[in-house]
Chain A
Amino acid sequence: MQCAESLRVQAYFDGEVDAVSGAEIERHADHCNECRALLEDLQKVRATLRRDVPYAATPPKLRAQILRALDQEGATGLRIAETPPATSRTARRPPVFRGRSFWTGAFSGIGGAAIAAAMVFFLVLPGALSPLTNDLVSAHVRSLMPAHLIDVVSTDRHTVKPWFAGHADVSPVVADFESQGYKLIGGRADYIDHQRSAVVVYQHGPHVINVFTWSAGNLRNLSNTTRNGYHLAFWQQGDIQYCAVSDTGWDELLGLVRLMRAEG
């Protein structure tokens, strides 16, 4: 016995629906016990997996081996250009990436087609236009201009956190993860989502990561997205909404997200 709305509720949970459908689903869940329970279960499963599944990194030995293989590849690549391509198994071309064209594929499956067709009406493409996303990217870019990055310069959490008390509406997690490669370099007050936002600033290699925080307010499902080459990772901790913004890679950005979540 499963409510017919369960897949839509799941899509809502995964941040894949637009605001209108989201509100509709929230109204539905208000008086559907099954879907309310489903939302709780989804949250439990997610929390468990994110807490207990090891987030493995490539073993250094394998990484070195791959880099060596790439070196050889570069050297042999020149020779291959002059001679007919080898027909060995390893010379096979990789698949041509279909990218976002799965939308056409979505209708070709048999079982999935009906569901997919039903879903198309409320699924939004990732990175759908959102003023909040634009605000965050603008604030990040603005912060990188001279003298805008940091209001309180400190690598000490005990200096940064109290500073926020007088300058922002929220008190976010502040911790230094220098040993993991994310150096706390300070904090800043900004204005996001009509609130005084506290921004924790990290340095990761050559990249600056701004972690914007503001009061979460009503349940809003923001999903990670990329805008103008900047990645935005969203999450909530308690009643605080977090968004980490940077031009670093997703892995690096999500590495910090993970650390901050563990701290909270």
Chain B
Amino acid sequence: MDDKRARFEEQVLPHLDAAYRFARWLCYAPGDADDVVQEAVLRAFRGFEALRGSDAKAWLLAIVRNCHFTAAKQQQRRAFVPLPEENDEVDGHAMVATTPDPESDSIRSDQKKVLERLLESLPEEHRTVLMLREIEEMDYAQIASVTQVPIGTVMSRLARSRAALKAKWLQDVEGVPRAVR
């Protein structure tokens, strides 16, 4: 294996899972996410020299985002935008958590479905900022790099998405009796 490939595997590929999750949040259709991630990794490899010691995760995710927009534009040009379908859930097998879930009772799984739908209903740029913060645990500076917006915009999007989730979800679900907590 040549040197560039080895360095790429060491510095960039550890963030492949994060890139995959990010693509899933952007696309919301597993097949599309696969294509976007693969294209992004190849582009990252070709432009690996541009990384030069900066934050590899934020860099890779920024490329994923660009690939997603390129793909979305091409789809629009073909005037074909697949709508989310009922059976998308069957394809959702890849979203299996990597950790065993100790509480898998039906109430929890219902809540998870509600949460997933609510996240889907958020505007994309709000959803992605929220997930980068809460799930990828990136700081404001990294999120600003990935989404290419000023840090003030990151903050207002975070505030709005959190408020929307709280309003829609916590009120809804907290009416349901909880088995735990």
A125 in contact with B141 (CB, 8 Å): yes
Contact, CB under 8 Å: A94 / B47: yes
Which one of A45, A62, A119 contacts B152 once the chains associate, using CB atoms below 8 Å? Answer: A119
Q: Does B166 interact with chain A (Cβ within 8 Å)?
A: yes
Is B32 interfacial (CB-CB < 8 Å)? no
Bound complex: CA A119 to CA B156 (Å): 12
B1, chain A: closest CB distance, angstroms: 8
B85 at the A interface (CB under 8 A):
no
Q: Is B44 within 8 A of A94, CB to CB?
A: yes
Q: Which residues of the other chain, A, contact B17 by a CB distance below 8 angstroms?
A: 56-58, 251
B59 touches A97 (CB 8 A): yes
B15 at the interface (CB under 8 A from A): yes
A73 surroundings in chain B (CB, below 8 A):
42, 45-46
Question: Which residues on A sit within 8 Å (CB–CB) of B119?
Answer: 53
Cβ of B150 and Cβ of A66 under 8 Å apart? Answer: no
Decide if B62 touches A97 in the complex (CB within 8 Å).
yes
Question: Please, which residue of chain B has its CB at the minimum distance from the CB of A98?
Answer: B145
Complex Cα spacing A105 to B150, Å:
6
Which residues of B have CB within 8 Å of A45? 134, 162, 165-166, 170
Pairwise interchain contact B21-A94, C-beta atoms closer than 8 A: no
Q: State A123–B141 Cα separation when bound (angstroms).
A: 10
Contact B170 A41 (CB under 8 A): yes
| Residue contact B141 to A56, C-beta cutoff 8 Å | no
A106-B112 Cα distance, complex, nearest whole Å: 36
Residues 20-49 of A contacting B (Cβ, < 8 Å)? 41-42, 44-46, 48-49
Whether B139 sits at the interface, judged by CB under 8 Å, is yes
B76 within 8 A of A: no
- Asked if B26 lies at the interface with its beta carbon under 8 angstroms from chain A, I say no
Whether A16 touches B162, Cβ cut-off 8 Å, given contacts A56-B97, A74-B5, is: no
Say yes or no for A236: interface residue by CB 8 A criterion: no
What is the CA–CA distance of A223 and B145 in the complex, to the nearest angstrom? 18
| Chain B nearest CB, measured from A224 CB (Å) | 6
**Interface residue range, chain B:** 35 or more
Contacts A73-B45, A94-B44, A251-B18 given; does A55 touch B152 at CB 8 Å: no
**With A74-B5, A99-B55 in contact, do A259 and B15 touch (Cβ < 8 Å)?**
no
Asked if A102 and B141 make an inter-chain contact with CB atoms under 8 angstroms apart, the answer reads yes
Contact of A56 among B14, B20, B165 (CB under 8 A): B20
CB distance from B46 to the nearest CB of A (A): 7
Q: Return the contact of A112 from the options B5, B39, B131, B151 (Cβ within 8 A).
A: B151
Chain B residue numbers with a CB within 8 Å of A87 are none
Q: A7-B159, A73-B42, A97-B62 are in contact. Are A54 and B5 (CB under 8 A)?
A: no
Please name all residues of chain B whose beta carbon is closer than 8 Å to the beta carbon of A58 when the two chains form the complex: 16-17, 19-20, 37
Q: Does B83 contact A (CB under 8 A)?
A: no
Q: Across the interface, do B54 and A97 meet the contact criterion of CB distance under 8 Å?
A: yes
Q: Identify the B interface with A (CB < 8 A).
A: 2, 4-5, 8, 14-21, 24, 34, 37-39, 41-47, 50-51, 54-55, 57-59, 62-63, 66, 94-99, 102, 108, 111-112, 115, 119, 130-131, 133-135, 137, 139-142, 144-145, 148-153, 155-156, 158-159, 162-163, 165-166, 169-170
- 10 new A-B contacts, CB < 8 A, other than A49-B115, A50-B134, A251-B14, are A15-B139, A48-B115, A97-B51, A100-B54, A107-B150, A109-B153, A112-B149, A180-B99, A250-B18, A254-B137
Sample (22) of A-B pairs whose CB atoms are under 8 Å apart = A6-B159, A46-B134, A48-B115, A49-B130, A54-B95, A54-B96, A56-B97, A70-B8, A74-B4, A92-B43, A93-B46, A97-B51, A102-B150, A105-B150, A109-B153, A112-B153, A113-B150, A113-B152, A115-B156, A180-B99, A250-B15, A262-B99
Binding site for B on A (CB under 8 A): 6-7, 10-11, 14-16, 41-42, 44-46, 48-50, 52-59, 62-63, 65-66, 69-70, 73-74, 90-100, 102-103, 105-109, 111-117, 119, 123, 125-126, 180, 223-224, 233, 249-252, 254-255, 258-259, 262
